[in-house]
Amino acid sequence: MRRRRSGAHSTATRIQFWDLCFKQRCPSPTSSSYPGCRAAIGEAYSRRGTPKSAIQIMLNSLSNNTLKQYDTSFKQWWLFCKQNKIDVYQASIPFVLKFLTERFENGASYGTINSTRSALSLLIGPRIGNDDRIKRFVKGVFRLKPPTPKYNITWDPSIVLNYLKGLYPNEVISLEQLTHKVVMLLALTTGHRVQTLSLIKINNIQFTHEGVQIFIPDLIKTSGKNSKQPLLNLKIFSNKIEVCPVTTLNSYIKRTQSIRDTNSLLITHKKPHHAVSTQTISRWIKIVLKEAGIDVNIFTAHSTRHASTSAASRSGISIDIIQKTAGWSENSICFAKHYNRPISSEPDQFCSTICNLISD
């Protein structure tokens, strides 16, 4: 009897010991503070038996923008789980539905709910996306709050172009003005995202007799296994030299040649002159919009993409050319379903159309 009690006691002690070790290694998610987006996802994969070396590679499948987006959802999920005393990695579907319902009732849009669902699937596993109740809930949100375009109207690019026309000659205006000018002209005449502009490198810019070709080898939002990397085409406008993107770009490169120590095209106009982030480029674009008379309380820097592509469509540029120029994937319907124009095949036609909007 003594041996049995001793053995039982020994077994219980071992269980308590290993249970304590596990808790020390993986603190209770209901009591621990939020560790950050990457750490949370890494812990979720680790709990599923994923090798640590593989986790580091798997985390690189998520872009920084995606991690930032998921980070907001994770913080709220951590708070929700703490309040309800549940495991953030093992929550049941009913609790997930309760969390999504709270977010919806607090004003979350369909896109936010869908993004939150995707974020939680990384923590809890694929059952979140496969559960019929979750699917039905998201469909219900779509019915109640159907996604709408960010802008019902847009601004006329000719207003901004006529403002930029006054920033000339390029050799006379300040470096700050020249920087803002080249950024806005690149945004308008390429139709690309700020992310793409931030990735332009000096050694990937090729000047020709007709204009400029800019290669973007870095990964962007639309990069994929079968997608093509962007090739930006700019055309020389000798009759509208004040807003010629090629002339302005050439002036900017020459002006910054002696002060740059980076291969990135866009650098700060104040010391130290280093490569700029997408946030800085967005701020510059908003400055130009405001100075040109565009309401920046309504329109963000990303609205340049909407304004330029819409203007190109109104001028008769085909959907095919607009999608290829502005970096939409070939199978994308986000722009094609709103516009329908005849087909053309000139690669610099988009740039030509935008620059021709300026008044003589």
Give me the DSSP letters along 118-129: HHHHHHH-THHH
Copy the structure tokens of residue 120: 């939680």
Q: Kind and range of the H or E element at 24?
A: helix 2-25
Whole-angstrom distance, CA of residue 183 vs CA of residue 248? 10
Q: How far apart, in Å, do the first and last CA atoms of the chain sit?
A: 105
pLDDT at 222: 59
At position 110, the amino acid (one-letter code) is Y
pTM: 0.69
pLDDT at 343: 29
For the chain, list the domains and their CATH numbers.
24-144 (1.10.150.130), 157-355 (1.10.443.10)
Residue 117 and residue 100 in contact, taking contact as beta carbons nearer than 8 Å? yes
Whole-angstrom distance, CA of residue 226 vs CA of residue 124? 30
How many CB atoms are located within 10 Å of the residue 86 CB? 17
pLDDT at 221: 63
pLDDT at 322: 67
| Mean pLDDT per 10-residue section of the chain, whose length is 360 residues | 43 41 41 86 94 93 88 95 93 96 95 95 92 96 86 84 95 97 94 90 93 84 64 89 95 95 95 93 97 92 84 70 64 44 47 69
Residue 134 and residue 117 in contact, taking contact as beta carbons nearer than 8 Å? yes
Cis (ω within 30 of 0) for the bond into 27? Answer: no
pLDDT at 308: 84
Whole-angstrom distance, CA of residue 217 vs CA of residue 240? 31
